Chain A
Amino acid sequence: MQHFIRRYGTLIGFVAILVFFSVMLPGTFPTARNWLNITQQTSMLMVVAAGMTVVMVMGDFDLSVGSAASLAGIVAAMMMSAGQPVWAAVSVALIAGLLGGAFNGAMVSLVGILPFIATLATMTMFSGLAFVVSGGKTISGRAIPEEFGNFARSGIPLGEWGGVAVSLPNLSIIAIAVIVAVWVLLEQTTFGRRLYAIGGNMEAAHLSGIAVKRLRLIAFSLTGLAAAGAGLMYASRVASANPVQGSGLMLNAIAAVFLGTTMSRHGEPRILATVVGVIVLGVLDNGLTQMSVDSYIRQVLVGALILIAVGAGSIGQKRP
């Protein structure tokens, strides 16, 4: 019984939240349009959290994802405002994220700095770089090509719903693609199984012949790439870029992965559990806004729910 709760408590809580909002907001919450909104609203967090899951599988962290997202948005926006084509700007921004992630990986695996400290340092570095590149300004308006902003505003039409045209937003499609890619990577490949082995016992993984350093380097690179992707999605959604706009993503991504770990057998991160974690956070924002709950109280509730979910899991595990 206790095991059942520990394993499924969060899921039960999630369903309870869904039922609660559906009862309180019957006309608006459980509608296709609202759920398409939620998938779009959480898409950026989804991509960052998916990337975060990759390093957290190894028991590592990346605190620099928010700054990397901001930096990627700034790099792309500066290139576009200098007249470069959108594809070139997006490519360079993604490469910047990949390189930033590889730098994190090098610091952690080759130099041997604790991930918390290494990525705390690169977090301020990336953030500083974003300010340097942009001169501290928000890049918006005519500097951003219309097609870049329009991307986040369009999607695949799904038809009419209650007289309003609904569509599957492009940002949601990207998020789903990233989830599928990370799921294949972590759950279906040797690479993924080795990351879990490292997370289980790094020493044992090393002794059994797994190239721990190389794999950690690659994993951090992928996290950086995902962060840059999310930064570009954010920039497209607001059709602008400023040097701090991704900073809120980091803590939420870690929170989502932690919420997810309460659903797995041994408390290890799983990508599909992370997805549920992200949706919990997104649903709370969406539902509580619709119920006109004060935005500051909303923050308190989100924190409380994380404590409840993770706390219930810890109690069940009966740690000494």
Chain B
Amino acid sequence: MSLNKSALALAGVLLATTALGTGAAFAQAKVAIVTPYMAQPGTQFYVEAFQGVADENDWDVNVIDTAGDVAAVISRIEDLVVQNVDAIVINVDPTQVTAGLQAAKDTGIPVFGMDAGADPLLVTNVTSNGYAMAAETATYVADRIKGEGNVVMFVFDAFPPVQVRGVIADAVFGNYPDIKVLDRVTPDVSDGGIADSRAKMEAILAANPEPGSIKAVWAAWDQPALGALQAIEDAGRSGEGIVITGIDANPQAREAIAAGGNFEASVAQDFSGIGAATADAVARVLAGEEILQSVTYVPTKLITAANANE
């Protein structure tokens, strides 16, 4: 009795597996995306856009979510290498999965980073350009204050992706003889960054009580910009026309920008664009092309009151 039941059930499971697994025709290119972070909203945008391009190219795409398990990413890459897929795309810090990347390299399977981080074992990593994002907002500030006045900067040099943003803003402001960087603040980010940025900004406002003595606040990401906005509004100085900019365009920042107050601009990464550009890179390599750039940048978008609600 139990033999028949369990054998039948097992046969059912295996049959179902067969039906699910053999959809692919032989001529199709096999491409796999491996990520531990499928549950994060940005990742879903990458993957959807990637699959759009993949459908056009008629690839057999296998999306593997290891649900936060980074070691499993290595294991699945090893399986894909044994299976001899045509290309692998990862969305995880490449230094954590070197074992898998090495296995792919040894068999000549190209691996692409989708906002993963640059690594010599990747053909290319497709991501946003932190330098360019900072240039967008820094020039926005310089233009808005007509090249003169005091600017407060919020930076975070301990985190490389944010540090590069500060470097660019320094260069832009340094290029205007009449712009003076009043303070270069590194906020305490342990509580998320808004509260301490607000406290730091309150102190700077108290030290510079004259209207017009602060023309702008340039923040390397959105949280300090939001903290500075709160400080300026609570000090009753929102009428002075202090220009605030952030980077990343998170939902809270978009809301503040759309409201039309001092927080005027931020920069949004194009997650769908990153997914599509990754698929394009895969297509180029599958077509036999060699990609020379170890990083492929996807343009970002300046967000102002005009497009904050899009």
Contact = CB atoms under 8 A, between A and B. Distances in A.
B27 interface: no
B3 A248 contact: no
Given A248-B68, A315-B5, A28 B84 contact: yes
B62 A311 contact: no
Contacts of A1: 3
Nearest to B9: A308
A5 B167 CA distance: 70
Nearest to B81: A37
Given A37-B79, A238-B71, A289-B76, A296 B9 contact: no
B37 to A, nearest CB: 12
Nearest to B23: A292
Given A16-B14, A288-B17, A295-B63, A153 B83 contact: no
A297 B102 CA distance: 28
Interface in A113-155: 138, 140-141, 149, 152-153
Nearest to A304: B13
Interface string A223-249: 000000000001001111010110110
Interface in B4-56: 5-6, 9-10, 13-14, 16-18, 20-24, 30, 32
B309 interface: no
B235 interface: no
A6 B2 contact: yes
Given A28-B84, A164-B106, A292-B30, A41 B60 contact: no
B307 interface: no
A296 B65 contact: yes
Contact of B2 (A2, A244, A295): A2
A294 interface: yes
A2 B69 CA distance: 40
A285 B75 contact: yes
Given A289-B64, A296-B65, A2 B1 contact: yes
Contact of A237 (B16, B23, B65, B74): B74
Contacts of B217: none
Contact of B70 (A238, A289, A304): A238
A9 interface: yes
Interface in B115-170: none
Nearest to B62: A292
Contacts of B14: 16-17, 20
A91 interface: no
B6 A312 contact: yes
Contact of A315 (B2, B63, B65, B76): B2
A245 B69 contact: yes
Most chain A CB atoms below 10 A, which of B10, B16, B66: B10
Given A2-B1, A16-B10, A16-B14, A238 B74 contact: yes
Interface in B76-126: 76, 78-80, 82-84, 93, 95-99, 102, 106-107
B67 interface: yes
A301 B17 contact: yes
Interface residues of A, number: 58
B69 A248 contact: yes
A31 B82 contact: yes
Interface string A250-291: 000000000000000000000000000000000001101111
A34 B107 CA distance: 14
B20 A294 contact: yes
A9 B79 contact: no
Contacts of B23: 292
Given A24-B21, A140-B96, A288-B21, A311 B6 contact: yes
B84 A245 contact: no
Given A245-B71, A294-B20, A296-B65, A28 B6 contact: no
A33 B82 CA distance: 8
Contacts of A6: 2
Contacts of A153: 98-99, 102
B17 A290 contact: no
A28 B2 contact: no
Given A28-B82, A248-B69, A152 B99 contact: yes
A312 B60 CA distance: 37
Given A292-B21, A301-B13, A301-B17, 20 more contacts: A2-B1, A2-B3, A9-B6, A20-B17, A34-B79, A37-B75, A37-B79, A44-B71, A140-B93, A238-B71, A248-B67, A285-B79, A288-B21, A289-B79, A290-B79, A292-B23, A292-B60, A295-B63, A295-B66, A312-B5
24 contacts: A16-B14, A20-B14, A31-B82, A33-B82, A37-B75, A41-B75, A138-B96, A140-B93, A141-B95, A149-B98, A234-B71, A240-B96, A244-B68, A245-B69, A245-B70, A286-B79, A288-B17, A289-B80, A289-B83, A290-B80, A291-B20, A293-B20, A311-B6, A315-B2
Which 10 A/B pairs are nearest by Cβ-Cβ distance? A291-B21, A312-B6, A41-B75, A289-B79, A292-B62, A290-B83, A315-B2, A238-B96, A5-B3, A37-B78
Interface of B: 1-3, 5-6, 9-10, 13-14, 16-18, 20-24, 30, 32, 60, 62-72, 74-76, 78-80, 82-84, 93, 95-99, 102, 106-107
